[in-house]
Structure 1
């Protein structure tokens, strides 16, 4: 395969494209290599340049908002190392995620423990490793923190209107505005330090004005805190931003609303730091999945009403778990890797995953040309809640990940990594 490998940003190899080669060229080469090795293992290609490009877009459109990348979305080591080199913060939800980020040399000050229902052992772990900033939304969580990490810098998560989101969170996380005064009072009584407010409007939000309302709610909490003598200095506007260009509401529209609301309720000279917890925004478009057709049934054999039946070597228990677990994930499109003729007949096809589970169905109505065993299919936009949700059920291994950069990007990352 044409390309070299580096170990600078990942526990595995980062592949460097040379001689002007593209991501598609890399995929072609990887498929040829697998064929020469009599293998058909599925794989993911991670375009690290896409991660960098989305970071630049974030800085341009939300210049006041520091991103704290949501590790749960995709914890690929190469991605985390690139983001560290770009000086993002990190949103961690467990001691394992905290340890993973600390192992990269990230400062504890650049971590927010953004989970409102933490095991006490995880709180103690954060305290032992000097991770100070963490969220809460209940009296019991305050009690636990007072016992395990009394010097923590606390962020009160509030429940906001998420009715316009595909994946809603406020039924599980966040305190209602009616509880804010009580919780802040309890924090004061326990001599705990509350430094700010966080919220999450849900993923797949379809109404940009939701952010305006949520930021206005946060302003109310700041005002209540001020009356109680609690001086807050941090606002966390959460995540859920899509990283795709083709989505119902573009990131540019969200950023316009957010910037206007911040200027109104938290102007630049107010002394409040603004952060967010983007995950899918950074990685959604960066990953492409390549899968192999491992079995086939014709229309008569498939038992699916005249449809062609195909079996691929990844499915709902692997990289494609997002189909059932993530309502905000874009519809999965299976694209033949081979060239498809303009006049080639398409058949309505059912596509199954490789496991013995009859629920492992990737698609029941894909329109595709006739495929053969050994053909490859590509699935784009596979970076968000795919790798982190994948299992090895039935002994089918998780997809191998190939992080890829250009030589120019490699040099940039080396420079940033050295100075970080």
Structure 2
């Protein structure tokens, strides 16, 4: 049975994620933070990707946001998936994704995860060291290997080369030879310029390196070089675009892989996830600090989500979050700071901000909150994780509903969005007799 609050709401007319959040908050019983997930944003970004980079197949990076509805939607659209663990492979295959649409893109894999991938038929996987080659030789000698090289963007939100990727000039040639000696098959090259990269020319450099390694690999016995994985790094905010980077990538592919049958894939994460999720958080307390000699009065606002929850992205993903009052106001902004609900002094969402005066019971909205937030959040100090309220436009729903592995019971057409969002309480050791309302404690199949 599916809980009413966790169904996907089918909406008509003019609406936005903010207007949906206002409707939920206006219910009056809502106290916990919640997300509004706009399925249409995901679909629009998929079509934009295919239009701007028709040769590059998107393989969604599951680690960015493993919300099952997001993953299911992308699977229905036809994307592949970049999985980094057994659990991510389990998630993706559980919704019917074929193993050929998965790349096990973790260059340092646990043995049990390699064995699981072998059982599930996920044969394509990355490596960047001799140790990994020895492990794969022992556990999965039939694997189709992709060597991951390092080519870092000049600036990135989260650099990855410090952890993964062999040097394309000094290390990669030797590893290709070692793989050949071990009788392992290398079929391609991958790289990742860094998550949230701000340099576009880096893709040209990385594709140049890849072309050279394709030629070298063939000369040492890897005769089936057929896959280029250009990784991630693509922007995902509402006001960002991949048009500029698409021009660079398309040109580089034409120059170095034009006329070839090489399959090109990428691993976008935040591109699909970030803008689709809007977070609403309640101001539950405030504290006025008096003016000091050289400073204005300052207000501390305490909200019901923080850096141990959704705003872990501030610490770990280096995001610059922006707060705005959920309800429009014409009052003048004043100096303030925004704090999370826990008793930890480090739980600060925004150390400096400028917001109109708020009261306890007002709501703040945060856009672009779908990337590297939900998967990392924890209920530290006993504060619940936000729940996701998914919405979709009726016309889009009619065109997609037969593609999803979902039934009519997963959707509600029209009617008001209401709370509360609190997750079901943990059952007591001795369950009480069921009542006619027991169904509300059943988790939705999507979560």
Q: TM-score, normalised by structure 2?
A: 0.86
- How far apart are residue 292 of structure 1 and its match? 0.2
Query: Residues 132 and 12 from structure 1, CA distance in 2 versus in 1: closer, same or farther, beyond 3 angstroms?
Result: farther
**Structure 1 unaligned runs (5+)?**
none
Higher relative contact order (CA 8 A, sep 6+): 2
What is the match of residue 378 of structure 1?
365
- Aligned mates of 1:368, 1:21 — CA distance in 2: 24
Query: Could you tell me whether the CA contact under 8 Å between 2:153 and 2:199 is conserved in 1?
Result: no
Alignment of 1:339-358 (within 5 A): 339-341=328-330, 344-358=331-345
1:336 paired with 2:330, answer no
- Aligned mates of 1:259, 1:363 — CA distance in 2: 39
- Aligned mates of 1:52, 1:114 — CA distance in 2: 24
What is the DSSP-based 3-state SS (H/G/I as helix, E as strand, rest coil) of the residue aligned with 2:253?
helix
1:244 paired with 2:233, answer no
Q: Which residue of 400, 407, 411 maps to 2:387?
A: 400
- How far apart are residue 193 of structure 1 and its match? 1.1
1:180 paired with 2:185, answer no
**Structure 2 unaligned runs (5+)?**
407-447
1:234 paired with 2:227, answer yes
Moved more, 160-169 or 57-66: 160-169
- Aligned mates of 1:64, 1:53 — CA distance in 2: 18
- Aligned mates of 2:299, 2:83 — CA distance in 1: 44
- How far apart are residue 23 of structure 1 and its match? 3.0
- Aligned mates of 1:337, 1:246 — CA distance in 2: 19
Q: Which residue of 168, 180, 183 maps to 1:191?
A: 183
Alignment of 1:42-57 (within 5 A): 42-57=33-48
Query: Could you tell me whether the CA contact under 8 Å between 1:162 and 1:169 is conserved in 2?
Result: no
- Aligned mates of 1:44, 1:16 — CA distance in 2: 16
- Measured against aligned partners, the alpha-carbon deviations of 1:101-134 in whole angstroms (never above 9, x if no partner) come to 0100000110000000111000001001111111
- Measured against aligned partners, the alpha-carbon deviations of 1:78-123 in whole angstroms (never above 9, x if no partner) come to 1111101100000000000000001000001100000001110000
Query: Could you tell me whether the CA contact under 8 Å between 1:6 and 1:15 is conserved in 2?
Result: no
Query: Could you tell me whether the CA contact under 8 Å between 1:239 and 1:277 is conserved in 2?
Result: yes
What is the match of residue 71 of structure 1?
62
What is the match of residue 288 of structure 1?
278
Alignment of 1:105-124 (within 5 A): 105-124=96-115
Query: Could you tell me whether the CA contact under 8 Å between 2:237 and 2:271 is conserved in 1?
Result: yes
- How far apart are residue 407 of structure 1 and its match? 1.4
What is the match of residue 274 of structure 1?
264
- Aligned mates of 1:142, 1:400 — CA distance in 2: 41
- Measured against aligned partners, the alpha-carbon deviations of 1:300-355 in whole angstroms (never above 9, x if no partner) come to 399x973111100001000011111113x3x21110112211xx232100111000
Q: TM-score, normalised by structure 1?
A: 0.92
Moved more, 273-282 or 223-232: 223-232
- Aligned mates of 2:365, 2:2 — CA distance in 1: 25
What is the match of residue 24 of structure 1?
18
- Measured against aligned partners, the alpha-carbon deviations of 1:35-71 in whole angstroms (never above 9, x if no partner) come to 1x3x411100110100000000100000000000000
1:143 paired with 2:134, answer yes
Query: Could you tell me whether the CA contact under 8 Å between 1:54 and 1:243 is conserved in 2?
Result: no
